[in-house]
Amino acid sequence: MPKSRNWSNTSAPCRLEWRPSRLLAAALLALGLLAAGSVLATEIPGRAAWPMAFAALAYGQWLARRELKRPGRTLLVPSGKGVALFDGVAMGGMEVQWRGPLAFVQWRNPQGLRGRMQFWPDTLPAPSRRELRLALINHTPAPAAGSMAP
């Protein structure tokens, strides 16, 4: 009878490529258009309403364009003990919150500044969401440096 194989219970690190969300950009454009329409639907006089509506539409377009021009990023969550990396920089205190298919990642960089990013359904498909969830189950943050007694 052949011996069974030794199966490893460790997994490979989770590497995710983040890119700007076209879905978010479309939502920002739609909000700008709705804001312009709602300004025109109010009882504001026409001389004031039209510039406000144009400003709301232009601001929505500016936000959408700014979102689409953001550079792609890389998130690396190691399996087991270790520090997660965001574009090669250590992420201290990484937290992931889920809102349905949306993932919100928060962390602190080595200088103590807080960083945030969002994964929308078009930037993080279902298999990648599952991979991230599984990586977070197995991921235990690296222990903080212990303090020494005086």
Describe the crossing of helices 22-41 and 46-68 by its angle, rounded to 10 degrees: 180
pLDDT confidence of residue 148: 57
Entry field: residues in the chain: 150
Q: How far is CA 131 from the centre of its chain?
A: 15
**pLDDT tens digits for 43-94?**
999 899 999 999 999 999 999 999 999 999 998 888 777 788 888 888 888 8
Residue spans of the domains in the chain: they are 14-19+72-141, 22-68
Element (H, E) at 102: strand 102-108
Q: Phi, psi at residue 43, to the nearest 5°?
A: -90, 25
Q: State pTM to two decimals.
A: 0.72
